[in-house]
């Protein structure tokens, strides 16, 4: 990764995650990036599918952070911040952008980009991380939104990719070499919805209600329940 990103461009693939994970299992170095023009079986978080017609950005990047499983939440937050900042370079009004835990990027209140993190662990040590990123550039599903509806001039998937890899590379290298997460946490919080905002969190079949209380040092969500208790949540879907 210190040698930069090695980009592998494809036309139509099942999922960039599948190709990258295969490369990772065969020993590929971190910094490899698989990009596709379209995906036939694009995957989202929690087993959902990700609509992947041509014209949008689909990529997966390989990291070998050499960290503990407990730090994976930090990588997830860091990736969301990189996407948020990349889109901030391209939209007419960056105030239209918002981060939603763990790493969704909303534009005008609707989802524009999503991130899927898949990993391989050896006991408690992270062997590799496949960070899959999808950005709606020219089209979006019904409940989503696409970038080109919010830009000054038409943006290509390639220019979005280049900003994204540049922010991702910068944050990741800083984090890996220093181990510090506090700067990323603060930057993420300033791009997220306000503290105290009521949110619901779906964890499997349960729905927890409370107020957003920020994220902690591991990137976990802090939810203040009605009784005032602060709950730490490591996985789930947030609804605003």
**Chain positions contacting ligand BTN, by CB under 6 A:** 15-17, 39, 42-45, 48, 50, 58-60, 104, 114-116, 132-134
Hey, which residues does 116 pair with through a beta bridge?
A: 132
Instruction: Work out how close the CB of 125 gets to ligand BTN at its nearest, in angstroms, rounded to a whole number.
Output: 24
Q: How far is CA 190 from the centre of its chain?
A: 16
Pick between residue 110 and residue 174 the one whose CB is nearest to ligand BTN: 110
Instruction: Work out how close the CB of 17 gets to ligand BTN at its nearest, in angstroms, rounded to a whole number.
Output: 4
Task: Report the residue number whose CB is nearest to ligand BTN.
Answer: 114
Residue 77: how many CB atoms within 10 A of its CB? Answer: 28
Pick between residue 38 and residue 211 the one whose CB is nearest to ligand BTN: 38
Pick between residue 76 and residue 85 the one whose CB is nearest to ligand BTN: 76
Instruction: Work out how close the CB of 47 gets to ligand BTN at its nearest, in angstroms, rounded to a whole number.
Output: 9
Between CA 96 and CA 119 the distance in angstroms is: 32
Instruction: Work out how close the CB of 41 gets to ligand BTN at its nearest, in angstroms, rounded to a whole number.
Output: 7
10 Å CB burial of residue 40 (0-12, 13-18, 19+) is exposed
Structure-token pair, residue 13: 């693939």
Instruction: Look at the alpha carbons of 67, 69, 74, 77 in this order and tell me if their dihedral is positive or negative.
Output: positive
Pick between residue 75 and residue 133 the one whose CB is nearest to ligand BTN: 133
Pick between residue 115 and residue 165 the one whose CB is nearest to ligand BTN: 115
Strand ranges, E, within the chain: 6-13, 32-39, 57-63, 97-100, 104-107, 110-122, 125-135, 198-203, 206-215, 221-224, 230-233, 237-239
Between CA 84 and CA 162 the distance in angstroms is: 13
Please, are residues 180 and 78 in contact by the beta-carbon 8 Å criterion? no
| Length of the chain counted residue by residue | 240
Instruction: Work out how close the CB of 161 gets to ligand BTN at its nearest, in angstroms, rounded to a whole number.
Output: 11
Pick between residue 106 and residue 116 the one whose CB is nearest to ligand BTN: 116
Instruction: Work out how close the CB of 229 gets to ligand BTN at its nearest, in angstroms, rounded to a whole number.
Output: 28
Please, are residues 80 and 167 in contact by the beta-carbon 8 Å criterion? no
């Amino acid at each position: 990764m210190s040698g930069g990103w090695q980009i592998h461009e494809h036309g139509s693939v099942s999922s960039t995650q599948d190709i990258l994970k295969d490369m990772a299992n065969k020993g590929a170095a971190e910094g490899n990036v698989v990009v596709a023009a379209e995906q036939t079986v694009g995957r989202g978080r929690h087993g959902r599918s990700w609509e992947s017609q041509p014209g949008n950005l689909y990529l997966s990047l390989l990291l070998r952070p050499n960290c503990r499983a407990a730090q994976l939440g930090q990588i997830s937050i860091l990736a969301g911040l990189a996407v948020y900042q990349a889109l901030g370079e391209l939209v007419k009004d960056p105030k239209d952008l918002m981060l939603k835990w763990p790493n969704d990027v909303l534009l005008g209140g609707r989802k524009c980009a999503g991130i899927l993190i898949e990993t391989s662990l050896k006991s408690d040590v992270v062997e590799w991380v496949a960070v899959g990123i999808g950005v709606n550039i020219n089209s979006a599903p019904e409940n989503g939104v696409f970038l080109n509806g919010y830009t000054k001039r038409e943006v290509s998937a390639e220019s979005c990719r280049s900003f994204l890899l540049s922010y991702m590379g910068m944050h990741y290298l800083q984090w890996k070499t220093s181990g510090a997460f506090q700067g990323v946490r603060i930057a993420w919080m300033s791009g997220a919805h306000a503290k105290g905002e009521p949110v619901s969190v779906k964890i499997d079949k349960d729905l927890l209600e409370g107020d957003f209380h920020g994220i902690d040092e591991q990137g976990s969500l802090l939810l203040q329940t009605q009784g005032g208790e602060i709950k730490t949540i490591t996985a789930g879907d947030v609804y605003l």
